[in-house]
Amino acid sequence: MNDTPLLLGLDLGSTNIKAVIYEPDGTSVARASVPCPTHYPQAGWANYDIEELWLTCVDAMRRAVSQVEQPERIVGVAVGSFGEAGALLDANDEPVAEMIAWFDQRCRVQYERMVDGADPDRLFAVTGTTVQQIMTGPKIMWHRDQDPEAYARATSWLNAADYIAFRLCGVKAQSKSLASRTGLIDLRAGDWSDELLGLADIDRALLPPVLDGGEPLGPVLPDVQRQTGLTDNALVAVGGHDHPCGAFAAGAIRHGDFLDSMGTTECTFLAIDRPLDDQTIGRQGYSLGAHARGSFYMYGGLYTAGIAYDWFKHLAADEVSHDAVLASAGSVAAGSGGVVFIPHLRLSNTPYPDSRVRAAFVGLTAGTDTPTLVRSVLEGVAFEARAASEPLFTHAGLPVPDDCVVVGGTARNNLLLRIKASVQHQRMHVLDIDEAGALGVAMLAGIAAGVYETVDEAAAAIKRPEHIIEPVTADYPVYDALFAEVYQHMYPTLAPFNHFLFDHFTGQQL
């Protein structure tokens, strides 16, 4: 008989819904991944059918649980999800509308009405983030504008992960990390802000209490036990937002821990012990938020990271294999002969939040060939990540660390990692974690179930296999010179031209 307790983490991602079952040291013993059913009723819109979403979660959990010989060993369950999406429920807890996807663009009018006349610095001071049109206030306002009768029946709103947790155990709570992405909470107080609710004209009664991740909610409901194979032993806990939960799994939980999640986009994440007050942080587009449990974080990031390489390879070297493209780019000397790329292919990034931008190559010469351009794209992504992450440390009053923990899909691109290491003067620790988002919520479930006593104990219990990519110190001078003398000037130099080109041409290509 094996009596090692197991923990189930369910992670709702934009692409897939994943259920993974872990041992307390983070070793996964069962997993299932099911595509997240998404509906696109019109351009710029995206919906989830709430019942379909729940049934998909059940399906993923059932498949994972069925791989475990003694499901009664599963002592904890928690749910994580994308932010900025939620369910509006009536008194019988039936959905009164579809769930609008986090990235949906329909709520611009409501957003503008909500922030009209508000001081952005004040909003940042309260919420820790720039209030955006994808956040909860404008989404609830949209439902009210669209169908006032249905809205009149609504009695509660739950973020996606919190709604699934409610379906598991019948207890409503808002995870603090997801609540901090609604744009409606007072980050310091850890509770709903009457000031922000007032701007959106939302009744506080609509919003269940805010709880930290890892707080116990209750056992799995009998019906759900039958549907999923979970047993009475499984305690449902408050989960949270996928980004901070993934950072928790990667060990970035104590003040000053830094994590770089490299994917199509890239997130630079710094754990901090208290919210910071400097308004510059908000003006530069950085956000503060509630961490998985008990502490805070500050993050910035790149809207185009790994996708920049995919884009350029498709444009200039579609017929060539990735290995061959990267090998030839790897043989180009650091600095790409003075060709510099700025990867603002769809939005600009911290510290220059600007939606009206475009990417550029400068420094082209007759000798610039395809491998040189590919390398300059990778170097541009690394320069941009350096530009986005350095202010995090400045704002937190911390030195830039010598080590950088990285996770994510693009972390398999060794040339990019080597360039990044040299551009950032850091040793890259590439973690091999099986679904960091799911593991993070499983760890929260473990805290609720008593598998771990504390956050620190949970973080310390996890085994994280890693490999290290060393920087090329000989490349520091050339990268430092390019960064300081050229890269840092590119955004302001190009901004006026980009604003014109963006306004004049965006949308023409659709």
- Which are the contacts of 458, defined by CB distance < 8 A and separation ≥ 6? 248, 443, 446, 447, 451, 452
Work out whether 14 is an interface residue with another protein (CB under 8 A): no
- Rounded to whole angstroms, the Cα distance separating 10 from 300 reads 25
DSSP state of 103: T
Q: Which of 315, 327, 460, 472 is in the footprint of another protein by CB under 8 A?
A: 315
Work out whether 366 is an interface residue with another protein (CB under 8 A): yes
Q: Which region among 129-137, 288-296, 368-376, 410-418 touches another protein (by CB under 8 A)? A: 368-376
Q: Which of 201, 318, 416, 427 is in the footprint of another protein by CB under 8 A?
A: 318
Q: Which of 55, 68, 171, 362 is in the footprint of another protein by CB under 8 A?
A: 362
Binders of another protein in range 444-483 (CB under 8 A): 478, 481-482
Closest CA to 171 of 260, 122, 124, 235: 235
Q: Count Cβ atoms below 10 Å from residue 394 Cβ, excluding itself.
A: 14
Work out whether 346 is an interface residue with another protein (CB under 8 A): yes
User: What are phi and psi for residue 386, nearest 5 degrees?
Assistant: -65, -45
Question: Closer to another protein at the Cβ: 222 or 367?
Answer: 367
Work out whether 319 is an interface residue with another protein (CB under 8 A): yes
Between the alpha carbon of residue 387 and those of residues 51, 305, 348, 398, the distances in Å are 42, 13, 12, 16
Work out whether 328 is an interface residue with another protein (CB under 8 A): no
Question: Closer to another protein at the Cβ: 4 or 488?
Answer: 488
Question: Closer to another protein at the Cβ: 311 or 393?
Answer: 311
Angle at 490 between CA 489 and CA 493, to 5 degrees: 85
- Which are the contacts of 505, defined by CB distance < 8 A and separation ≥ 6? none
Adjacent-strand bridge partners of 86: 159
Q: Which region among 157-165, 181-189, 203-211, 332-340 touches another protein (by CB under 8 A)? A: 332-340
Work out whether 489 is an interface residue with another protein (CB under 8 A): yes
User: Shortest Cβ distance from residue 372 to another protein (Å)?
Assistant: 8
User: Quick check: 287 and 328 in contact, CB under 8 A?
Assistant: no
Work out whether 401 is an interface residue with another protein (CB under 8 A): no
- Rounded to whole angstroms, the Cα distance separating 433 from 250 reads 7
User: Quick check: 469 and 424 in contact, CB under 8 A?
Assistant: no
Work out whether 387 is an interface residue with another protein (CB under 8 A): no
User: Quick check: 10 and 25 in contact, CB under 8 A?
Assistant: no
Q: Which of 345, 436, 443, 444 is in the footprint of another protein by CB under 8 A?
A: 345
User: Quick check: 212 and 293 in contact, CB under 8 A?
Assistant: yes
User: Shortest Cβ distance from residue 498 to another protein (Å)?
Assistant: 7
Binders of another protein in range 185-224 (CB under 8 A): none
User: Shortest Cβ distance from residue 361 to another protein (Å)?
Assistant: 5
Amino acid letter, residue 298: M
- Residues near another protein (CB under 8 A) are 304, 307, 311, 314-320, 335, 337-340, 345-346, 358-370, 372-373, 478, 481-482, 485-486, 489-490, 493-494, 497-498, 500-502, 504-506, 508-510
